[in-house]
Structure 1
Amino acid sequence: MTRRLLRRFAWLMLGAAIGLATALLVVSLLAVVAPGLPREVVVLVTVLAGAGLGLVPGARELEVTAARTMLDADAELVVPRRPRWAHRRQTMAWVVLHQLAGVLVGVGLFAAVPAAGLVLVETVTGRAGTVVDVPAAPAARAALAAAAVVVGLAGLAACWPVGAVAARWAGRFLGPTASDRLELATSRAAREAEHTRLARELHDGIGHALTIVSVQAAAGRRVGGQDPAAAAAAFATIEDTARDALAELDELLAVLREDRPGAVAPVDLAGVVETHRRAGLVVDARLDLPAGLPPLLQRTVQRITAEALTNAHRHGTGPVRLVVSAGAGVLTVEVSNPRGGRTSRRGGGRGLAGVRERVALFGGTVEAGPEGEHWVLRATLPLPERSDRA
């Protein structure tokens, strides 16, 4: 409590020192340059000069530091890298408030209290008006001295509430502006979007690879003793899938380390289908992917296909029908398979959420759910104009 009071007192005295120095400088200059100005004009020029200190480079940094260390301000205070006029306006207002608060408290402490002491000394010694021009009547002098003491004590007592109010208001004057909050929100949204994208890439790439590896490992373990050739094929699939997954993971980590710009891997829909066939999934595929599609759109089609086949492998039963076709300005990816016992749980997974996010980037639509005895995933993506694909 005492330390906080002393810090707030120091903050007020800092404002008083700056305010008094500014006032003395302005009054002295005006007395030389334009003597005889009205008192109101002198006060106005002094206030404007005090506000102008807020435009001095480094003023906001000093005020923010003082508010944090001396006032223990809990609000979010910012020192923008590129100050706008709104920041400068805030700083000017806060500098004026700092000086006024300090001067008012300082006057109570260092003007009223000494004046009271001088009045008491003159009253006791009987030398009325030699130091301070006050009434000669003892009762009037005593009342004036008492009033000065009260003002001085009030100035001392005001250090706590004035400092508390200043600490509460610091966020309004030195906190982020609406533009700062918008930039912060945009930056956070961009980081969250990047995290979502990385999670989607890891799920679609590494997650699918691990699914195939686990399926093939289980198959190899079951047939290892009875069918060495089938076990060898399963282990070969595991090797190829793990190698591809490691390569994709290396590309993703390289992008995160900014060692090199991310390159879109070549699209191989037939390879994706063949990988799942080697893993034991029966796939009837009809692939009609138009030539000249943007690489990102091709990769999106590949990711959708991989997600759908992986879900069919995990949850479905029986053969899978895959159709990738283009027509009427849209590209359609449709995967259907007989429903398994756990099909009802497939609608809320992260994989389908990732598919919807990818398709939404292109303004497309996704339908996923049971249709009769089958589970169907149907993604529709708008095709770019031919001039854009050239």
Structure 2
Amino acid sequence: MPSRLIRPFTARATYRQWVHLILGAVLAVPYLAVAGLVLGPLLGLGFGLRLPPVAVGLVQGAFVVLAVVATGLLPATRSLSGAAAKSLLGLPESGDADTWPDRWRTVCWLVVHLALGSGIGLLTLIVPPFILLLFADPLLALSPELAGISLYRAFDIGQWWAPLVGLGLIVAGFHLVAVVGALLARLAPTLLGPSEHERLRRQVEELSERNRLASELHDSVGHVLNVAALQASAANRVLDSDPTFAREALAAIADSTRAALADLDNALGALRSSTLDESSLADLDDLIRSTELAGLEVRLDLQGNPGSVPPQVSREGYRVVREGLTNTLRHAGRVRVAVRIAISPRTLDMDMTNPLGSSTSRRGLGLDGIKRRAQALGGHAEGAAKGDNWQLQVHLPW
């Protein structure tokens, strides 16, 4: 019981919630000031209307409500309210103001925040001086001005128990702030958090990002490991008969594995980056050189200027060639591959052809990844066996 009594005094959340409630009171001041200092005189005396006080009060109240609603419908209000709730109320995540239901939830939050904040703010201004008077009055003579106030006469201030009342008000005040702050903290996820539709959309985006990373790692690291394995095997066979070739193969293995480690570092340390591999069509010569060391014979026919291809399309074109060469090594072994790349002012067309190996099925992450990325850029990709050859065709527009 004592711990529950003093918990609002020791919990940091109480003070953060108190600040948040005071913020609501501060935000309410402009609306109340315009209603009281501008609309009141205009409606009461101006324009010759001379409305009765009740009518003036109703108009002022309607103005405050409409102004708060208009403010809550602004998209920026949801962002600012969410940031304040995250910092002071511990809101896990805030939602976007993409739909009208989201904006109306912001309106509800703003109304509750301003109403509760105004109440707590008013008590924060009024109660502390009264508590000080309760503590000090038994020691001091009550001035005639204060003695004439009915509130002070009603409490019979000046008695020995007055400080106890002041202490009780302090305890009650902290508990009131804790209760009201906890209420706001409980309402925040409902009114400021993401909707079910938004949560689903974020889950889909996260899943898409994971799939993208899996595809990137499969293409880059998978290619390197396949090539490195074949290069190591080739170097081992010719180590005595052709040491020069063996040294070149081992050097290529070292370079490619370092590149693979860099890709892994990017994947694990910068998951939010747009790409894991910045290689483009300009790097095809290095790719083909490392692949040929693994025993694959590559004949490249490049038509057009790779520098004229947009960076994103150029990167995807490089990945298509890399994945095609990896698939050839995996399924057909050391064969000849014909790679034709045609660059026109608005399109990139690629055609890769190689003899079929023992495995005629190319379904898997590689081919599926090529198709997904091509579709994401508005293009298409097809891979199929044609006679004794396997052919991969990719069309990427921009």
Quick one: distance in 2 between partners of 1:75 and 1:67? 9
Change (3 A) 1:298 1:108: closer
Quick one: distance in 1 between partners of 2:221 and 2:30? 65
Amino acid at match of 2:115: L
Report the CA distance between 1:211 and its aligned residue: 1.0
Report the CA distance between 1:100 and its aligned residue: 0.5
Please say if residues 331 and 382 of structure 1, whose CA atoms lie closer than 8 Å, have aligned partners that are also in contact.
Answer: yes
Q: Which has the larger radius of gyration?
A: 1
- Residue 159 (str. 1) matches residue 177 (str. 2): yes
Please say if residues 209 and 245 of structure 1, whose CA atoms lie closer than 8 Å, have aligned partners that are also in contact.
Answer: no
Which residue of 93, 103, 113 maps to 1:76? 93
Change (3 A) 1:3 1:194: closer
Could you tell me the percent identity over the aligned residues?
A: 17
Kindly tell me the number of residue pairs found equivalent between the two proteins. 316
Query: 2:33 is matched with which residue?
Result: 24
Please say if residues 280 and 317 of structure 2, whose CA atoms lie closer than 8 Å, have aligned partners that are also in contact.
Answer: no
Change (3 A) 1:268 1:9: closer
Please say if residues 109 and 152 of structure 1, whose CA atoms lie closer than 8 Å, have aligned partners that are also in contact.
Answer: no
Query: 1:308 is matched with which residue?
Result: 331
Quick one: distance in 2 between partners of 1:382 and 1:241? 30
Query: 2:368 is matched with which residue?
Result: 357
Quick one: distance in 1 between partners of 2:296 and 2:18? 78
Query: 1:94 is matched with which residue?
Result: 109
- Residue 276 (str. 1) matches residue 276 (str. 2): no
Query: 1:335 is matched with which residue?
Result: 357
Change (3 A) 1:335 1:52: same
Query: 1:340 is matched with which residue?
Result: none
Report the CA distance between 1:214 and its aligned residue: 1.9
Is there any run of 5+ residues in structure 2 with no aligned partner, and where? 1-9, 45-50, 157-166, 264-273, 304-315, 339-351, 373-379
Which residue of 204, 213, 227 maps to 1:209? 227
Report the CA distance between 1:26 and its aligned residue: 0.9
Which residue of 24, 32, 43 maps to 2:61? 43
- The CA deviation string for residues 269-327 of structure 1, in whole angstroms up to 9 with x for no partner, is 9x97895389xxxxxxxx9x9999x96776654332112145xx9xxxxxxx9999xxx
Query: 2:349 is matched with which residue?
Result: none
Quick one: distance in 1 between partners of 2:278 and 2:221? 22
Change (3 A) 1:103 1:301: closer
Is there any run of 5+ residues in structure 1 with no aligned partner, and where? 139-148, 225-230, 279-286, 314-320, 325-329, 338-346, 368-377
Secondary structure of 1:207's match?
Answer: helix
Please say if residues 12 and 102 of structure 1, whose CA atoms lie closer than 8 Å, have aligned partners that are also in contact.
Answer: yes
- Residue 105 (str. 1) matches residue 105 (str. 2): no
- The CA deviation string for residues 339-373 of structure 1, in whole angstroms up to 9 with x for no partner, is xxxxxxxx9xxx97433434654565789xxxxxx
Quick one: distance in 2 between partners of 1:242 and 1:366? 35
Query: 1:9 is matched with which residue?
Result: 18
Quick one: distance in 2 between partners of 1:134 and 1:220? 105
Quick one: distance in 1 between partners of 2:26 and 2:294? 78
Give the TM-score normalised by the residue count of structure 2.
0.54
Quick one: distance in 2 between partners of 1:116 and 1:204? 73
Please provide the CA RMSD for this pair. 6.1
Quick one: distance in 2 between partners of 1:323 and 1:62? 58
Give the TM-score normalised by the residue count of structure 1.
0.55
- The CA deviation string for residues 143-162 of structure 1, in whole angstroms up to 9 with x for no partner, is xxxxxx99997665321121
Report the CA distance between 1:114 and its aligned residue: 8.1
- The CA deviation string for residues 92-137 of structure 1, in whole angstroms up to 9 with x for no partner, is 443322111112334556568989999xx9xx9999x96459999x
Please say if residues 77 and 171 of structure 1, whose CA atoms lie closer than 8 Å, have aligned partners that are also in contact.
Answer: yes
Please say if residues 108 and 154 of structure 1, whose CA atoms lie closer than 8 Å, have aligned partners that are also in contact.
Answer: no
